[in-house]
């Protein structure tokens, strides 16, 4: 069943999209995230500031145990307690922001997880997700297993991309 979503938040007014796939299913075979958006929010990502005004767009249970801060970006809310984010202005300069998802990759992932599909945008974002995997090799090479203090910023950055570095 196709469902229409209308977004009215701080960054998009009247944006419409359709959910055409079941929640959490029918992912591209090249896209196998290790964490769901809900798990990422619960672990602590983006200093807790990311998408705090989007609660009406996504399931309520995503926010029950989410580590969020409406007022400011707080790296202490991140799982690895470090700032591993770049500013939205940097993302825009690099060409990583698209009109459909003005908050970037994680917003795309949340919408993709919920069932939105936009073929060309999906392929771009999946390619970007896959490119992050190179950082896993650096963790494996330079860190003892499960040494969460080793390369915390790199671990947090990977967590922002749905890679679960707690297992490395």
Domain for residue 50, yes or no? yes
| Residue numbers of the domain that contains 20 | 3-131
> What pLDDT shows up at residue 50?
80
Between CA 40 and CA 19 the distance in angstroms is 21
Domain for residue 137, yes or no? no
> What pLDDT shows up at residue 27?
98
CB-based contact 121:100 (threshold 8 Å): yes
Query: pLDDT tens digits, the chain, 168 residues: what are they?
Result: 899 999 999 999 999 999 999 999 999 999 999 999 999 999 999 998 888 898 899 999 999 999 999 888 899 999 999 999 887 788 789 888 999 999 999 999 999 999 999 999 999 999 999 999 999 999 999 999 989 999 999 999 999 999 999 988
| pTM (two decimals) | 0.95
Residue among 78, 150, 114, 93 nearest 3 (CA): 114
CB-based contact 20:2 (threshold 8 Å): yes
Cα 82 to Cα 21, 88, 166: the distances in Å are: 35, 18, 15
Domain for residue 147, yes or no? no
The 3-state DSSP class for residue 79 equals coil
Secondary structure letter of residue 10 according to DSSP: S
Domain for residue 48, yes or no? yes
Domain for residue 156, yes or no? no
> What pLDDT shows up at residue 153?
96
Number of domains in the chain: 1
Tokens representing residue 19 in the block = 């959910």
Domain for residue 7, yes or no? yes
């Amino acid at each position: 069943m196709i469902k229409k979503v209308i977004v009215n938040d701080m960054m998009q007014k009247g944006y419409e999209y359709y959910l055409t796939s079941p929640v959490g299913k029918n992912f591209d075979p090249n896209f196998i995230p290790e964490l769901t958006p809900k798990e990422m929010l619960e672990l602590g990502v983006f200093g807790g500031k990311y998408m705090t005004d989007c609660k009406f767009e996504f399931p309520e249970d995503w926010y029950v145990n989410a580590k969020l801060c409406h007022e400011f970006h707080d790296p202490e809310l991140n799982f690895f307690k470090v700032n591993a984010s770049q500013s939205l202005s940097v993302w825009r300069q690099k060409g990583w922001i698209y009109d459909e998802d003005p908050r970037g990759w994680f917003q795309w992932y949340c919408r993709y997880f919920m069932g939105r599909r936009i073929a060309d945008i999906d392929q771009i974002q999946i390619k970007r997700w896959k490119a992050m995997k190179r950082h896993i090799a650096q963790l494996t090479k330079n860190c003892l297993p499960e040494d969460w203090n080793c390369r915390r910023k790199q671990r947090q950055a990977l967590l922002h991309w749905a890679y679960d570095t707690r297992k490395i």
